[in-house]
Structure 1
Amino acid sequence: RIWKLKGSPSWNSYTEELKLSAISDYLSGKYSIREITRKYLISSHSVLLQWVNKYNSHREIKGTPKGRASSMTKGRKTTWNERVQMVLDCLGNGKDYQRTAETYEVSYQQVYQWVKKYEDGGDEALKDKRGRKKKLNSLRRMKSSFK
């Protein structure tokens, strides 16, 4: 007997209107989760329940863009001053990491990490310490040891 594996589903996109209609049907109590997911062609029960939880938490319900738009894919070099500004903006907006990431075109994860570093060590903690230069004296000592 040959078993075929089912391919993983592709990323589905849903309009804001569809999401709100499905949430409304769910909250009305007139339909089961199964009926709603079939009616609106929602990929799974958990997707619907995530929308409902988001709605009940008074968070904005947005349509899903075509071709998964992920803030993880955004990345660019930033200066220390930019990082400080992003953190201050994020804190000023009640730690809205997603909005800050979208505004500055950086990843959600990066904004989260910068805010965390800032809270632990102030703006100095936001400096990039990779590739730090050695002090001139230690370079001279190293150079003389190779002779």
Structure 2
Amino acid sequence: MVQYCIQHENKYVETAEKYQVSYQQVYTWLKKYEADGVKGLLDRRGRTKPEDEMSELEKLSAENRLLKAGGSYHGI
């Protein structure tokens, strides 16, 4: 969604309508992305396990989510 908005000259209303979210949500996510890149878009709710406490499946799942978001995986 952020990528779409950027590619379409930051048209927040158009992006919000396309993805059926609020204008404020588009604006907030774009500002987070501009400030911190893909890492700014990660869900920070709840406790994130340190990498050494993650099972192999949890590590692969975290890597997959990050790669889908357009980032690169260097441990979480």
Q: Same fold (TM over 0.5)?
A: yes
CA distance in 1, matches of 2:27, 2:36: 14
Q: Which runs of 5+ in 1 are unaligned?
A: 1-85, 137-147
RMSD of equivalent CA atoms: 1.2
Q: State percent identity of aligned pairs.
A: 53
Q: How many residue pairs align between the two structures? A: 51
1:113 corresponds in structure 2 to 28
Give per-residue Cα distances to partners, 1:7-38, cap 9 Å, x unaligned. xxxxxxxxxxxxxxxxxxxxxxxxxxxxxxxx
1:102 corresponds in structure 2 to 17
Q: Where in structure 2 are the equivalents of 1:50-129 lying within 5 Å?
A: 86-129=1-44
CA distance in 1, matches of 2:31, 2:17: 18
Q: Which runs of 4+ in 1 moved over 3 A?
A: 133-136
Could you tell which deviates more after superposition, 86-95 or 126-135? 126-135
Aligned to 2:44, the other structure's residue is in SS state coil
Which structure has the highest helix share of the two? 2
Q: TM-score, normalised by structure 2?
A: 0.62
CA distance in 2, matches of 1:93, 1:106: 16
1:42 corresponds in structure 2 to none
2:45 corresponds in structure 1 to 130
Q: Which runs of 5+ in 2 are unaligned?
A: 54-76
